């Protein structure tokens, strides 16, 4: 079974609502590709105008964060039903910036993954090692542990609809990309872990992205690897290069 490629932009804390609409217009023709799931994961305030701007196109809308309760006294937070109602399909969970800057741990990340599935949102679950762990040679154990913790009590059927983004922290926003072989090594290992935790069908179905300074120049080689089913793209998702990545 061929897995469908998924190219997702993580806009992070960039673009005001009017800038977001302008970027959608700039990318409109560049991201056309019926064989690829294209996703814009945008700041909360941009969700409604972006959903309107991409209506009728091949672009799906994603969010960058949410909280696990449906409503109530959680000042500053946004819920899964709110995202769903606004047209969101995908949700980034466990990004290294949320783990490191906002102290999100694997208990909360696991709760978010379960809540996303229960709410009909498709999680893009991020994992990845620091430069220190890469240099120490313990990165595989670290990533295996993240995956096991973050998928606690998630079912095999749910995993078939999951996207996992392998994002080595040392390659995020640094201009330094993992080589295609380094990225494949870990993405292949992640698929093996899914097979051990679940079964062959779940491992075959789960989509695994690489993220970390992916750009128009290196995307084709990374995406040619057997266990890399797409990309999660930060910086290059904010410019025309994103269209080249979608069509790489």
By the rule CB under 6 A, 217 interacts with ligand PEP: no
Select 14 or 57, whichever has its Cβ closest to ligand PEP.
14
Q: How many CB atoms lie within 10 A of CB 237?
A: 27
Member of 235, 243, 245, 248 binding ligand PEP (CB under 6 A): 235
By the rule CB under 6 A, 168 interacts with ligand PEP: no
Give min distance, CB of 236 to ligand PEP, in A.
6
By the rule CB under 6 A, 46 interacts with ligand PEP: no
Quote the tokens at residue 80.
């899964």
Question: Is 60 a known active-site residue?
Answer: no
By the rule CB under 6 A, 172 interacts with ligand PEP: yes
CA–CA distance, 79 with 125 (Å, rounded to integer)? 17
Coil vs helix vs strand at 189: helix
Select 88 or 214, whichever has its Cβ closest to ligand PEP.
214
Question: Is 95 a known active-site residue?
Answer: yes
Member of 6, 222, 228, 233 binding ligand PEP (CB under 6 A): 233
Virtual torsion, Cα 192, 194, 199, 201, nearest 10 deg: -90
Q: How far is CA 230 from the centre of its chain?
A: 9
CA–CA distance, 5 with 79 (Å, rounded to integer)? 28
Residue 26's contacts (CB-CB under 8 Å, 6 or more residues apart) are 240
Select 80 or 172, whichever has its Cβ closest to ligand PEP.
172
Cβ-closest position to ligand PEP: 234
Coil vs helix vs strand at 9: strand
The catalytic position among 64, 97, 104, 167 is 167
Residue 138's contacts (CB-CB under 8 Å, 6 or more residues apart) are 129
Contact mark string toward ligand PEP, 2..31, x via CB under 6 A: --------x---------------------
Give min distance, CB of 75 to ligand PEP, in A.
26
């Amino acid at each position: 079974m061929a897995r469908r490629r998924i190219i997702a932009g993580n806009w992070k804390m960039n673009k005001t609502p009017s800038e977001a609409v302008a970027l959608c217009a700039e990318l409109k023709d560049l991201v056309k590709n019926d064989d690829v799931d294209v996703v814009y994961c945008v700041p909360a305030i941009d969700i409604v105008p972006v959903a309107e701007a991409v209506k009728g196109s091949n672009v799906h809308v994603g969010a960058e964060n949410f909280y696990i309760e449906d409503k109530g006294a959680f000042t500053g937070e946004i819920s899964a039903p709110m995202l769903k109602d606004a047209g969101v399909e995908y949700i980034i969970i466990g990004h290294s910036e949320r783990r490191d800057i906002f102290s999100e741990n694997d208990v909360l990340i696991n709760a978010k993954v379960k809540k996303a599935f229960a709410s009909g949102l498709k999680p893009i679950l991020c994992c990845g090692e620091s430069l220190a762990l890469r240099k120490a040679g313990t990165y595989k154990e670290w990533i295996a542990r993240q995956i096991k913790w973050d998928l606690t009590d998630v079912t095999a059927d749910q995993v078939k609809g999951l996207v996992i983004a392998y994002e080595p922290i040392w390659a995020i926003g640094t201009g330094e990309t993992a080589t295609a072989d380094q990225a494949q090594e870990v993405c292949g290992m992640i698929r093996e872990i899914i097979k051990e935790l679940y079964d062959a069908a779940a491992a075959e179905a789960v989509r695994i992205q690489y993220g970390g300074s992916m750009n128009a120049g290196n995307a084709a080689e990374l995406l040619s690897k057997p266990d890399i089913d797409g990309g999660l793209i930060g910086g290059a998702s904010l410019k025309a290069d994103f269209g080249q990545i979608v069509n790489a």
